[in-house]
A and B are shown apart, each in its own frame.
Chain A
Amino acid sequence: MSELEASKKRVNDSRAGRKGQDMPGLAPDVKEALVHRYHPDYKNEAYATIRVGPNKGERTVHEVVRLLEGISPFADESVSLKPTHEVDVLIVGGGGAGATAALTAKAAGVNVLMTTKLRLGDSNTVMAEGGMQVAVAPEDSPVRHFVDSLKGGQMANDRPLLKTLVEEGPSIAKWLIEIGVLFDREEDGNLSLRGGGGSSMPRLLRCKDYTGLELMRVLKDCVLNEEVNVLEFSPVLELLTDGQGTCTGAILKNLDTNQLIIVKAKTVILATGGIGRLHIQGFPTSNHYGATGDALSMSYRAGAVLTLQDTFQYHPTGSVFPEAMAGLLVTEAIRSAGAHLLNVNGERFVYELETRDAVASAVIRECLEGRGIETPSGRKGVWLDMPLVDLINGEGTLKNRFPNMVRQFSRYDIDIEKEPVLIYPTLHYQNGGVKIDVDGESTLKNLFVAGEASGGIHGRNRLMGNSLLDIIVYGKRAGEAASRRSSDIEAGALTLDHLSKFQAEQKSAGVVSKTVSPMLFPDYVNKN
């Protein structure tokens, strides 16, 4: 028997004995030490100092520094800025935040154009499995939700942003129900609530393990019903400004025709999502194909300040076997339902519902210290014992509550009702991003940012279920604020003056870059 099979047998054999076993939580100082020692955010050699731009002197990972210090696709090219479209609100990104912003702006009666790199709906939203946190239970409160999120975020969260998030949660949930989102319900009609790591109360609204898919299906349907003008396969390559610190539009490219599209917009909302496909520190990712952090570089060289740009979430339970599933997420809700994490010896090593930063750190520690299991393709991982979920909650629980997980693994002949799977942290989320205020406006005037592209709400570690809430709350707020603003102002001049300013700064700092940003897509396609 191979070492892998022998280890798996230990997990299978010990399962019944582990049912009901207590695992103490980590004391705050122990948790802090664990995170500082093993979490990738604290790996110094993975980081560099940013040499130009608004966050000059601060640091982030090499992969992001390269994009921030990168060169514009229009650095050496003169381009006609004669507008092909003139709109009140330009919304960039076709995920949950972008769709919500588009619906809101459309309802406000302003002229909206939405543009997206792939199709409308292609996003990380569609893959979100776990749920959406809203303080609904009678014994719960928005304040409690706030405090949990703050603790989870290592106290680095922007307080007004977070307060707004949790306070608007309930009315946002009501709005979603009104447009036809079908959350799981209890017999009496109340929303069914589940627990998540780092949350002191069950607070997750969800639709089995298809919550993001359900949200995105409905939001996309609404966007199409409302006849929002949408350009697909047309990413933004550069923002336009008036040269005086105000955003005035953007340059898009139609990927099918290679034609440039010049949009003059009174306001722009960037909702382009996160960074998983940068494979920071070599990690696999749970993110969709287009998650390349486009908002960061474009808004940065136009003058917008970033915040917490040095912190990323590595979701503790990314699949590592089979190789074709590497990086794909196994929802945290599985651990909420009782699944254990075990090392090569079949021993538990961390309380499974610590916050994600702590659980990921513990998994990395096990693998670094020789207690991981090696997959046939050379990855390391530990066991996630899912059959225990059925043992605890009754046969059929996995099938009923986690049909997506059961199906995904069954495609590779792995029966998660019978055997454990191998997992390792996977790059999941950018905790920080473009700094915004409670209306979603960045420090660059008339540039709004919503969803994962923005930073501050989640501090240095986002709690499960706060991202689906974030995209709807702040998609809506940005949509409202941008619509209001565009009714009050005239469109500004279209220039690329911010680029020459940025280039001058690069030159004086001695920054020579060969990286063109935004990146748009990961470099997977074989060119030989």
Chain B
Amino acid sequence: MIIEGNTKISNLVTITVDNEQHAVPEGITVIQGMWHLGRSMLHGVGCLGGACGACAILTRRPGQPQPKTALACQTMVSEGLDIAFLSTDVSVKARALLPNETPSRDTLFQYYPETRRCVACGACSTACPQGIDVMAAVRETMMGELPAVAERFESCVMCGLCAAVCESKVRPHRVGLYARRLHGAFYPKAPTQLLNRIDEISAGRYQAEWDSALQMTGNG
């Protein structure tokens, strides 16, 4: 095995991929297991650090009645693990631009009207590999609580699993990102220090300091 130059990997475990059983070394991730089996995984691999959402999978452990969603780069292989790879996010993104005026929940509904159809089944929250309470965020969207929605989606990796499992065709991750952008762009309080610094720089406030610093540090 050619995984990052290492090491003393020993025992094998049996995993099931697409209904076929394979033996792979224990202690490695599902992605590394796929490489071990000779699969390149081009469309199912990205950052390898749990941040990009490219490697969504369904897994089921022995004795578990229902499969669970997960990220393949963040899941270790284990005896009897049953794995199915999911295609990457196919939900449609609305061309949701930032508005000129302070946003409200109607700003979101304009682009993602189906959000109102949420029946609060909770499937999205169960599906989220980041542990976001997605359904709570969708309910907050309906109440127009954009800052709360924004905060909930802070760790969202845009894998799209929440949209994939939604019976009502809601696209929670896309709503969440738009809510975050709206909240960021229309933040209720100005970053005064930053704006002052920009004014100082354009007014040439640092010229003397630059002259002496550049003289002292030379031209390397």
Q: Is A513 an interface residue (CB 8 A)?
A: no
Q: How would residues 1 to 35 of chain A score, 1 for a CB under 8 Å from any chain B CB and 0 otherwise?
A: 00000000000000000000000000000000000
Q: Please judge, given known A-B contacts A289-B47, A524-B2, whether A170 and B194 are in contact too, CB under 8 Å.
A: yes
CA distance A408 to B181 in the complex (A): 25
Q: Please judge, given known A-B contacts A178-B185, A324-B27, whether A523 and B220 are in contact too, CB under 8 Å.
A: no
Q: Is B150 an interface residue (CB 8 A)?
A: yes
- Interface positions, chain A 237-281, Cβ under 8 Å from B, are 255, 279
A282: chain B residues within 8 A (beta carbon)? 5
Q: Is A353 an interface residue (CB 8 A)?
A: no
Smallest CB separation, B22 vs chain A (Å): 11
Q: How many residues of A contact B (CB 8 A)?
A: 88
Q: Please judge, given known A-B contacts A326-B6, A327-B4, A377-B7, whether A180 and B180 are in contact too, CB under 8 Å.
A: yes
CB-based contact B46/A118 at 8 Å: yes
Q: Is B51 an interface residue (CB 8 A)?
A: yes
A134: chain B residues within 8 A (beta carbon)? 194
CB-based contact B35/A328 at 8 Å: no
Q: Is B203 an interface residue (CB 8 A)?
A: no
CB-based contact B6/A188 at 8 Å: no
Q: Please judge, given known A-B contacts A155-B220, A180-B98, whether A136 and B51 are in contact too, CB under 8 Å.
A: no
- Interface positions, chain B 40-95, Cβ under 8 Å from A, are 40, 42-43, 45-52, 54, 74-76, 88, 93, 95
Q: Is B190 an interface residue (CB 8 A)?
A: yes
Residue of A nearest to B5 (CB): A282
CB-based contact A225/B96 at 8 Å: yes
CB-based contact B48/A378 at 8 Å: no
CB-based contact B217/A408 at 8 Å: no
Interface residue stretch chosen among A210-218, A339-347, A470-478, A491-499 = A210-218
Smallest CB separation, A338 vs chain B (Å): 23
CA distance A177 to B93 in the complex (A): 22
Q: Please judge, given known A-B contacts A207-B154, A377-B27, whether A190 and B193 are in contact too, CB under 8 Å.
A: yes
Q: How would residues 201 to 212 of chain A score, 1 for a CB under 8 Å from any chain B CB and 0 otherwise?
A: 000000110101
Q: Is A135 an interface residue (CB 8 A)?
A: yes
CB-based contact B220/A157 at 8 Å: yes
The one of B95, B194, B209, B213 that contacts A173, using a Cβ cutoff of 8 Å: B194
Q: Please judge, given known A-B contacts A182-B180, A324-B76, A377-B6, whether A210 and B217 are in contact too, CB under 8 Å.
A: no
CB-based contact A126/B217 at 8 Å: no
Q: Is B143 an interface residue (CB 8 A)?
A: no
Q: Is B119 an interface residue (CB 8 A)?
A: no
Q: Is A286 an interface residue (CB 8 A)?
A: yes
CA distance A454 to B195 in the complex (A): 30
CB-based contact B38/A525 at 8 Å: yes
Q: How would residues 128 to 154 of chain B score, 1 for a CB under 8 Å from any chain A CB and 0 otherwise?
A: 001100000000000000000010001
CA distance A143 to B204 in the complex (A): 12
Residue of B nearest to A205 (CB): B194
- Interface positions, chain A 318-373, Cβ under 8 Å from B, are 322-324, 326-329
CB-based contact B189/A185 at 8 Å: yes
Q: Please judge, given known A-B contacts A163-B210, A289-B48, whether A170 and B201 are in contact too, CB under 8 Å.
A: yes
Q: How would residues 515 to 528 of chain A score, 1 for a CB under 8 Å from any chain B CB and 0 otherwise?
A: 00000010111111
CB-based contact B189/A188 at 8 Å: yes
CA distance A25 to B201 in the complex (A): 32
CB-based contact A524/B35 at 8 Å: yes
Q: How many residues of B contact A (CB 8 A)?
A: 76
CA distance A224 to B192 in the complex (A): 31
CB-based contact B5/A524 at 8 Å: no
Q: Is A233 an interface residue (CB 8 A)?
A: yes
Q: Is B155 an interface residue (CB 8 A)?
A: yes
A379: chain B residues within 8 A (beta carbon)? 6-7
B196: chain A residues within 8 A (beta carbon)? 138
Q: Is B183 an interface residue (CB 8 A)?
A: yes
CB-based contact B185/A121 at 8 Å: no
Smallest CB separation, A136 vs chain B (Å): 5
CB-based contact A323/B7 at 8 Å: yes
Smallest CB separation, B97 vs chain A (Å): 6
CA distance A208 to B154 in the complex (A): 9
CB-based contact B155/A407 at 8 Å: yes
The one of A189, A224, A326, A524 that contacts B189, using a Cβ cutoff of 8 Å: A189
Q: Is B107 an interface residue (CB 8 A)?
A: no
CB-based contact B8/A150 at 8 Å: no
CB-based contact A322/B213 at 8 Å: no
Smallest CB separation, B165 vs chain A (Å): 21
Q: Is B123 an interface residue (CB 8 A)?
A: no
Q: Is B12 an interface residue (CB 8 A)?
A: no
Q: Please judge, given known A-B contacts A173-B194, A288-B48, whether A404 and B27 are in contact too, CB under 8 Å.
A: no
A521: chain B residues within 8 A (beta carbon)? 40
Q: Is A86 an interface residue (CB 8 A)?
A: no
CB-based contact A255/B184 at 8 Å: no
Contacts A/B (CB < 8 Å), 6 sampled: A118-B46, A180-B185, A190-B192, A191-B191, A284-B6, A526-B35
Binding site for B on A (CB under 8 A): 118-119, 121-124, 126-127, 134-138, 141-143, 146-147, 150, 155-159, 163, 167, 170-171, 173-174, 177-183, 185, 188-191, 207-208, 210, 212-214, 217-218, 221, 224-225, 227, 233, 255, 279, 282, 284-286, 288-289, 322-324, 326-329, 376-379, 403-404, 407-408, 411-412, 459, 521, 523-528
Knowing that A190-B192, A190-B193 touch, tell me 8 more A-B residue pairs with CB under 8 angstroms: A126-B46, A143-B210, A179-B185, A182-B180, A182-B184, A224-B93, A525-B35, A528-B38
Complex A-B, nearest 9 residue pairs according to Cβ-Cβ distance, in ascending order: A189-B189, A180-B181, A182-B184, A180-B184, A288-B47, A180-B185, A377-B7, A122-B46, A143-B209
